[in-house]
Structures are given as C-alpha cells and as structure tokens.
Structure 1
Amino acid sequence: MKSGTRIALHRLDLCPVCLVGFSAGDSCATDIELGTCHAACLEGAPVVYLDTGEPSDGPVTTFPYEPD
C-alpha cells in the first residue's frame, strides 16, 4: 500500500487491515507498522513491544475506539 493511501485511510478512520470504518467502542489494538486496527483483524499476529519491536509473551493490549 502506498504511504499516501495509508494516510488517507487514517483520516477516514478505517481499519487498514479490513478497510471497515471504526465505530465508537470497537475493540482496537495498535500494530507496529499499520497503527490502529480492529483487534480481531490482528488476531494471530505476533505480539511485540511497540517501543522496541521485541517479541512479547503477553496478550495484545486492546482499547475501545473513541472518535475524535
């Protein structure tokens, strides 16, 4: 995906994995390369520490989506 496309998707509040818009309260997680995604879209992906990229044994941290 071109970087301009990724920026446009972010502005529209779409998940970069499934291209479905976020709704208030959706369970989300942060991917180290893609940014905010639906947590379900990242299911099965390796979990890493966002600040270092090192593997983590812990569960992915999720948060509810809150529109700006």
Structure 2
Amino acid sequence: MKEPAMTLIDPQRTWHKVELRLATETEPILRRNLEVLLEHAQAEAARDLPRLMATVAEDAVYQTFSQDPATWPRG
C-alpha cells in the first residue's frame, strides 16, 4: 500500500500575500509589523538563523502542547 504524499509548502511563496498587503497598507504600525513578518519569512526560507532571530522579540516565549518531552524545543 502506497502512503499518501505529504503536502509540500513552498517557502518561497509564504510571503506573497504579505507583500501584496504591504503594497497598499498605509497605517505605520501595521506596515512595521508586515515588514517584520516579511523579513522573518524570507530569513526562514533562506535558513538564515541570525537574520531570523533578529525578527523575534528578546522576551519571546515558546510553548509546546505535546505530551512527549522528546518533541519539546531545546537550547
């Protein structure tokens, strides 16, 4: 029996809608947030960890809801 194919996400397309919204957004705070989101998505796709982490708040908190400690974030 063949396993179902996993849906692939093209990381180069994750920010397309953000760019569209940014092109028309005039509210300064929303523009800033969209710019950070765009930078984050592009850094993630480029696998550029320093660039990616520059978009994360210094006091960011990561949570997991998994029961299995093996899947919890480490580091």
Decide which structure has greater strand share: 1
Taking structure 1 as the reference length, the TM-score comes to 0.28
Q: 1 or 2 for the larger relative contact order (CA 8 Å, sep ≥6)?
A: 1
Decide which structure has greater helix share: 2
Taking structure 2 as the reference length, the TM-score comes to 0.26
Which protein has the larger Cα radius of gyration, Structure 1 or Structure 2? 2
